């Protein structure tokens, strides 16, 4: 890397609460989305170049688009347009977050590229201006910049940082192939219509019990309060996830859930040692492609070099 490169490290997320309302006229769903940033990271490096170019390395690199549909490229273009810069930059993504896995890896890269280009070009944009650009790029992108724990209302982009009283230990079961986020929301609507389920209030709210568990850092109480309205839809589209969830529960996880729209599964453990034990049992179960251990909350997008 040249001295002019800027590298940003940006975390994945798990949703400890994902309450989903009925579809809005614009096709989005209002959410009460409680995000928690976890220690699985992508790194985005921005280097001046002759033209906008995206490259990617890592185990899932072949599944990442390298054209201007890549959220990192879209972030660079949006920032360049807003501040009258030339988006001639090489963006390299060192990808460790599973692709299309319900862990917001693309959103993380969008937030990471935005921060990296901002530092490279010295735009002087405020945090709020950067968060505004993130919200235009995608519902989950602002959280990639913010990190920590936060409640996202509206389509998930209207963020309020939340207090967390400690570190939570997680095990993630990575699945073969991804799930399309719009397809999972559509399946949620379909299942509700089929069952005649009321989608609830127009704007869902965060669970007070869950916020309290986060605030005091009580993993047992958090396990009792986690909820994901997209889980049934993800399992309906990928029935094998039920086996992975059962294997994690049988291994002693405090909670077993689908991460966001899936197909990654998330297991809460009561300590770092317990997480390693659950991870070993999950690996031995043969019900997922790979198993990762992580903890959170961790900070959002951070310049590291
Ligand atoms: C479900 C969640 C949970 O955090 O993430 P993943 O688990 O996929 O990572 C998010 O809501 C995904 O957010 P993100 O991936 O940024 O979605 P966007 O690009 O804004 O929208 C993609 C599509 O998802 C659907 N969508 C997204 C957000 C939302 N509140 N309602 C929706 O219905 C819409 O069909 C939309 O066209
Ligand atoms: N930088 C990126 N990394 C991964 N996927 C990206 C990226 N930019 C755009 N995408 C597209 O976004 C889709 C969703 O990817 P991702 O954000 O990893 O998953 P999820 O929305 O489930 O959290 C991918 O299938 C891919 O087509």
Residues 48-89: tens digit of each pLDDT? 999 999 999 999 999 999 999 999 999 999 999 999 999 999
Could you tell which of 15, 99, 138 is best to mutate to test the pocket of ligand 2, judged by most ligand atoms within 8 Å of the CB?
99
- Predicted confidence (pLDDT) at residue 3 exceeds the cutoff of 70: no
Q: Say whether 13 is catalytic.
A: yes
Ligand 2 atom at minimum distance from 100 CA: 19
ipTM: 0.98
Which pairing describes strands 168-174 and 290-296: parallel, antiparallel, or unpaired? antiparallel
What percent of the chain has pLDDT above 70?
99
107 close to ligand 1 (CB < 6 Angstrom): yes
136 close to ligand 1 (CB < 6 Angstrom): no
In this predicted structure, what is the pLDDT of residue 206? 98
Q: Say whether 140 is catalytic.
A: yes
In this predicted structure, what is the pLDDT of residue 266? 98
- Predicted confidence (pLDDT) at residue 298 exceeds the cutoff of 70: yes
- What does the pLDDT look like over 92-105, one tens digit per residue? 999 999 999 999 99
- Tracing tokens 């460790």 back to the chain, one arrives at 96
Whole-number Cα distances in Å, 130 to 66, 87, 235: 23, 16, 35
Could you tell which of 140, 142, 227 is best to mutate to test the pocket of ligand 1, judged by most ligand atoms within 8 Å of the CB?
140
- What does the pLDDT look like over 212-257, one tens digit per residue? 999 999 999 999 999 999 999 999 999 999 999 999 999 999 999 9
Q: Please, where in the chain does CATH 3.30.70.890 lie? A: 168-296
- What does the pLDDT look like over 138-172, one tens digit per residue? 999 999 999 999 999 999 999 999 999 999 999 99
SS3 assignment for the chain: CCCCCEEEEEEEEEEEEEEEEEECCCCCEEEEEEEEEEEEEEEEEEEECCCCEEEEECCCHHHCCCCCCCHHHHHHHHHHHHHCCCCCEEEEEECCCCCCCCCCHHHHHHHHHHHHHHHHHCCCCCHHHHHHHHHHHCCCHHHHHHECEEEEECCCCEEEECCCCCCEEEEEEECCCCCCHHHHHHHHHHHHHHHCCCCCCCCCCCCHHHHHHHHHCCHHHHHHHCEECCHHHHHHHCCCHHHHHHHHHHCCCCEEEECCCCCCEEEEECCHHHHHHHHHHHHHHCCCCEEEEEEECCECCEECC
Question: Which CATH number does 168-296 carry?
Answer: 3.30.70.890
- Predicted confidence (pLDDT) at residue 305 exceeds the cutoff of 90: no
In this predicted structure, what is the pLDDT of residue 1? 46
Cβ distance 53 to 90 under 8 Å? Answer: yes
Going by pLDDT thresholds of 50, 70 and 90, the confidence category of residue 2 is very low
Given the candidates 3.40.30.10, 3.30.230.10, 3.30.70.980, 3.20.20.70, the CATH classification of the domain at 6-163 is 3.30.230.10
Q: Please, where in the chain does CATH 3.30.230.10 lie? A: 6-163
């Amino acid at each position: 890397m040249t001295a002019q490169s800027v590298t940003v490290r940006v975390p994945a997320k798990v949703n400890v609460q994902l309450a989903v309302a009925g579809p809005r006229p614009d096709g989005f769903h209002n959410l009460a989305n409680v995000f928690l940033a976890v220690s699985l990271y992508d790194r985005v490096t921005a280097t001046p170049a002759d033209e906008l170019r995206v490259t990617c390395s890592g185990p899932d690199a072949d599944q990442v688009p390298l054209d201007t549909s890549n959220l990192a490229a879209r972030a660079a273009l949006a920032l360049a347009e807003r501040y009258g810069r030339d988006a001639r930059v090489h963006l390299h993504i060192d990808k460790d977050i599973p692709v299309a896995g319900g862990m917001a890896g693309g959103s993380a890269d969008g937030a990471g590229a935005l921060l990296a280009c901002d530092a490279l070009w010295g735009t002087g944009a405020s945090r709020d201006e950067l968060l505004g650009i993130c919200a235009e790029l995608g519902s989950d992108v602002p959280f990639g910049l913010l990190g920590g724990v936060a409640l996202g209302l509206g389509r998930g982009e209207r963020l309020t940082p939340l207090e967390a009283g400690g570190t939570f230990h997680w095990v993630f079961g990575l699945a073969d192939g991804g799930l399309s986020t719009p397809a999972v929301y559509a399946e949620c609507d379909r299942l509700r219509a089929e069952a005649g389920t009321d989608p609830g209030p127009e704007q869902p709210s965060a669970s007070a019990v869950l916020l309290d568990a986060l605030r005091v850092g009580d993993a047992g109480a958090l396990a009792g309060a986690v909820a994901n309205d997209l889980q049934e839809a993800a399992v309906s589209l990928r029935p094998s996830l039920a086996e992975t969830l059962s294997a994690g529960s049988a291994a002693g996880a405090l909670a077993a859930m689908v991460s966001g729209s899936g197909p990654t599964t998330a297991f809460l453990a009561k300590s770092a040692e317990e997480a390693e034990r659950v991870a070993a049992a999950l690996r031995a179960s043969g019900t997922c492609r790979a198993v990762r251990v992580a903890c959170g909350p961790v900070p959002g997008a951070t310049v590291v070099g």
